[in-house]
Structure 1
Amino acid sequence: MKGYFWGIGSVILTTLAQLCLKAGVTILPEFKLNHQWMDVNWLLENLPAFGLIFIGLIGYVLSMVCWLFALKFLALSKAYPLISLSYVLVYLFAVTLPWFNESATLIKFVGVVFILLGIWIISRPEVTRK
């Protein structure tokens, strides 16, 4: 049970990290890898975007800590499918939150159903035969 707690924590943090990174780079104006990064005014003007990106990166670090604990307590065959829930959650948030402006389509929905079906199949208790 402890492993599932850490696994779900990793899923939630990964989902939040992905959403923060997407929101941050979306509001960041077009940039190039040049002197622009040395312009303090440009950096300050875009502080909210960099803040979201930073929060996303911190979310990934915390997610990895949770993931390490999940791996300590869960079999890899149980833990790894669990992390796929983050794909489902990111999709659901992306199509429901208006600022992401993502479209929900039948093919995407079918993909989510396949992910959930795969998680269900792998997470079922193993039947031992005598």
Structure 2
Amino acid sequence: MGIIWALLSVVLVSAAQLTLRHAMLLLPPAASPELFLQHLLHATPGTLPLFVGLLGYLASMVCWYFALHRLPLFRAYALLSFSYILVWCAAIALPGWHEPFSWRALLGVVVIVAGVMVIFTPPKRR
């Protein structure tokens, strides 16, 4: 059950990161706090994705709490690395994001997957 909680946390945090990225493209930079707050108070188009993304992070932390109660930390943290893969793939695949594909990044994804497989492979009995 701990793996399910950890994977749910990964999906939620990945969706939250993507939603926050979308919100940041719609909102003005926080360098001018008055303009940023004005946009938040008047519920401009970026306001809803900002709050949905923050709620996604909160929900992810709740799932992470349950995952840490049921999984050893080294395994839970290994699963958390799948978030990098999900966000990378989604940023490339989602229309309008124009994130570039790179073979070097794909190699990094392969290394992450290999690392998680090493951590989850049971040790051989002697």
Distance in 2 (CA, whole Å) between partners of 1:104 and 1:80 is 26
% identity of equivalent residues: 38
C-alpha RMSD of matched pairs (Å)? 1.8
* TM superposition shift of 1:26: 1.1
1:116 is paired with a residue whose SS is helix
Contact 1:23 1:100 in 2 (8 A): no
* TM-score relative to the length of structure 1: 0.87
Q: Which residue of 1 aligns with 2:8?
A: 9
Q: Which residue of 2 aligns with 1:54?
A: 51
User: Following superposition, which runs of at least 4 residues in structure 1 exceed 6 angstroms of deviation?
Assistant: none
Distance in 1 (CA, whole Å) between partners of 2:27 and 2:41 is 10
* TM-score relative to the length of structure 2: 0.90
Distance in 2 (CA, whole Å) between partners of 1:11 and 1:37 is 29
1:47 is paired with a residue whose SS is coil
- C-alpha deviations, 1:85-104, integer Å up to 9, x for none? 01000000000002221000
- C-alpha deviations, 1:61-101, integer Å up to 9, x for none? 11011001101001111111000001000000000002221
Matched pairs, number: 126
Distance in 2 (CA, whole Å) between partners of 1:23 and 1:120 is 32
Q: 1:61 to 1:31 in 2, by over 3 A?
A: closer
Q: Specify every segment of 5 or more residues in structure 2 that has no aligned partner in the other structure, as ranges.
A: none
Supply the AA of the counterpart residue of 2:117.
W
Distance in 1 (CA, whole Å) between partners of 2:118 and 2:72 is 15
Alignment of 1:1-130 (within 5 A): 2-37=1-36, 39=38, 43-44=41-42, 47-129=44-126
Supply the AA of the counterpart residue of 2:45.
P
- C-alpha deviations, 1:101-127, integer Å up to 9, x for none? 100011111111111111111111133
1:98 is paired with a residue whose SS is coil
Q: 1:75 to 1:23 in 2, by over 3 A?
A: same
Between Structure 1 and Structure 2, whose CA radius of gyration is higher?
Answer: 1
Q: Specify every segment of 5 or more residues in structure 1 that has no aligned partner in the other structure, as ranges.
A: none
